[in-house]
C-alpha cells in the first residue's frame, strides 16, 4: 500500500512540475491551477457579472476567489467560506466555518447583507483515502450539501457551479439537480486532467 502511494505521489509531482497550468498560475499570480477551470467556465457560460453577489463554498486556497475578485470588480459582494483559513483578498469577505452549521450560515447571510446570491460556486473535494467507493461516497455527500446550500442562498435567476465526480451516485445527482434548476449543463474544462473523473455542473434558474 505504501509503495503504491509512493508511486502515485511521485507521478503527481512529475505531472505537477511539468503542468502548463501550474506554470501559468505562477506567471499570472494565482494561488492554484484550478483557476483556469473557472476561467473557461466563465468564458463559456458568462457567470460573473460586475456588481454581483457571489458566494464561494470551499474557497481555500483562494485561486477561484482571486479570479472572482478581479472579474466582478469593487461593486460586487463576494463572500468566500471554508473550514480552512484562507489568506485575505481585496473586496472579499471570508467566513471561516462549516457552511452546513447554522452559525456559519448566519455569518454567510450577514456577509451577503441578507441578499440572495447571483452565483454560488463549489470546487470542493474530500481528502482522498485511496478507497474508491468511500472516496466517491464522500465526494457525493459534499455535492449534495452544496446543492442544498445553493437552493438556500441563490436568487431565483442565479447560477450554481459545482464540481462533481463521475461514478456511483452521479446520474442520480444530475437528476436531482435537474429537478431544482431549469437549465443544466455539464462541462469538462481543458484544465481538468484527462484521467480525472471530475466534471462541472453549471445550473441556472431555480424551479
**Residue ranges at the known binding site for S-adenosyl-L-methionine:** 62, 64, 82, 98, 123
Determine the 3-state secondary structure of 21 from DSSP: helix
Q: What is the DSSP string of 136-148?
A: HHHHHHHHHHHHH
- Residue 89 to residue 74: CA distance in whole angstroms: 12
176: closest CA among 132, 136, 207? 207
Side-chain half-sphere of 141: how many Cα atoms within 13 Å? 9
Determine the 3-state secondary structure of 70 from DSSP: helix
Determine the 3-state secondary structure of 94 from DSSP: strand
- Residue 44 to residue 119: CA distance in whole angstroms: 15
64: closest CA among 46, 48, 45? 48
- Is the separation of the CB atoms in 146 and 176 below 8 Å? no
23 catalytic? Reply is no
Catalytic residue among 46, 163, 179, 185: 163
Specify the length of the chain in residues: 207
Catalytic residue numbers, as ranges:
163
Amino acid at each position: 500500500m505504501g509503495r503504491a502511494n509512493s508511486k502515485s505521489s511521485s507521478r503527481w509531482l512529475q505531472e505537477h512540475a511539468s503542468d502548463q497550468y501550474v506554470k501559468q498560475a505562477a506567471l499570472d499570480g494565482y494561488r492554484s491551477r484550478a483557476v483556469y477551470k473557472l476561467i473557461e467556465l466563465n468564458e463559456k457560460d458568462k457567470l460573473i457579472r460586475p456588481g454581483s453577489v457571489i458566494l464561494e463554498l470551499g474557497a481555500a486556497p483562494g485561486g477561484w476567489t482571486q479570479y472572482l475578485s478581479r472579474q466582478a470588480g469593487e461593486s460586487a459582494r463576494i463572500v468566500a467560506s471554508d473550514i480552512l483559513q484562507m489568506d485575505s483578498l481585496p473586496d472579499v469577505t471570508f467566513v471561516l466555518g462549516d457552511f452546513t452549521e447554522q452559525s456559519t450560515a448566519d455569518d454567510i447571510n450577514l456577509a451577503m447583507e441578507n441578499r440572495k446570491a447571483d452565483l454560488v460556486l463549489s470546487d470542493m473535494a474530500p481528502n482522498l483515502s485511496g478507497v474508491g467507493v468511500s472516496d466517491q461516497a464522500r465526494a457525493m455527500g459534499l455535492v449534495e450539501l452544496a446543492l442544498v446550500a445553493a437552493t438556500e442562498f441563490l436568487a431565483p435567476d442565479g447560477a450554481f457551479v459545482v464540481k462533481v465526480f463521475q461514478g456511483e451516485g452521479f446520474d442520480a445527482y444530475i437528476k436531482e439537480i435537474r429537478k431544482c434548476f431549469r437549465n443544466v449543463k455539464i462541462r469538462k474544462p481543458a484544465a481538468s486532467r484527462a484521467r480525472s473523473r471530475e466534471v462541472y455542473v453549471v445550473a441556472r434558474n431555480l424551479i
